[in-house]
Amino acid sequence: MFTRRKFIKKTSLGAAALPLIGSFPLSEAALFPQNNTTLRVAIMGLGSYANRVAKAMESCTRAKVVGVVSGTPSKIKDWQSRYGIPDKNCYNYENYTDMRNNPDIDAVYIITPNALHCEQTIGVAGAGKHVICEKPMAINAAEGQRMVSACARAGVQLLIGYRMHFEPKTLEAIALRTSGQLGRPLFFQGLSGFRIGNPNQWRLNKALAGGGAMMDIGIYSINGARYMIGEDPIWVTAQETKNDPVKFKEGVDETIQFQMGFPGGAVASCLSTYSMNNLDRFYLNGTEGHVEMQPSTGYGPIDGRSHLGPLKAPIVTHQTIQMDAMAGILLDGDQPTVAVNGEEGLKDMIIIDAIFEAVATGKKVDIALN
């Protein structure tokens, strides 16, 4: 059996690494879901974050884990016993497109290494299921565009796992800007980083991760700058620092400082790193006030304050509120305050490509997202 573990051992991801899966005709069940109150989700990739998501979904009111996709039979059995998943809703990486014939699954949440996202999204979309893909959506913008196009052709929705877009204190901070209480945004600072451990993990394998810290943690500052300022950047500059070339091999970034400019005149200064702890801070300064969040994106409680005092929104489990909100998007057509669709994810991939170009060339790189 071809398992994800076997795939990870193959570090060259050429065109033949995974078979391209063509589009399949949508079933009537996919076009007209019979269950419009609960989003029935299959989890693809049963690693540590998948377990966190599934645990959080136990408290969801509108989303439920009903299926799994894994190349490890023992994991499938464990999840079946925990979540009461029937055999007919269990798949591996060879047969998961067979779920096109399974009306009991509405969507698949892809939580696998970054380099697998593109082909798996194309496969799931071809099977007529909505796709929720963990961020980053792909390893570059070209793959991201393929994913967006494939889902559009199949008539399914593509959502990206931006849990912070639903986190209450984050939305409270955004509301300070949209209500005018901060005035015109002038400056954003995003600090995203931690000291990564095991040097043999897939996140430090360029073929699987597409890079290093930027893909994993730096993307939070990119995305955060956009939703905090309320605009998309029009240029970027960037500089890389690498102190451990053994651990952080060619193409795997250790630390990148990057700067972005926005059409309204605001600028952002951000840090992405795998070599420093205690870096999880967003700060937005405007003509009339400021707001700061620290921690700003970690799994635990988000905290912050503005010139008006502490942020007061309630503490929630991020993945619980995320999955209930995504159920509303997929089942009811709800429109979130900050988009989580494939186009939103593609914008971040275009920016990341530009950051890597700026690092390589030492030049200011223009960005056109709109």
Q: Do residues 124 and 96 touch, judged by C-beta distance below 8 A? A: yes
Phi, psi of 185 (to 5 degrees): -60, 135
Among the options 91, 220, 227, 283, which is catalytic? 220
| Cβ-proximal residues to 152 (8 Å cutoff; 6+ apart), any chain | none
3-state helix, strand, coil in the chain (%, to 5): 40, 20, 40
| DSSP secondary structure code for residue 203 in this structure | G
What residues have CB less than 8 Å from 77, skipping those under 6 apart? none
CA 146 to chain CA mean position, Å: 16
Put the strands of the sheet holding 255-261 in their side by side order: 309-310, 304-306, 290-293, 279-286, 185-193, 267-273, 255-261, 235-241, 365-366
49 catalytically annotated? no
Which helix (H) or strand (E) segment is 131 a member of?
strand 130-133
Collect all residues with Cβ–Cβ distance below 8 Å to 48 and sequence separation of at least 6.
Answer: none
135 in catalytic set: yes
C-alpha dist (Å) from residue 240 to 4, 50, 258, 296, 365: 31, 31, 9, 23, 15
Return the structure tokens found at 92: 């591996």
Residue 186 tokens read as 């002038």
Question: Which residue out of 91, 93, 129, 135 is catalytically annotated?
Answer: 135
Active site residues: 135, 220
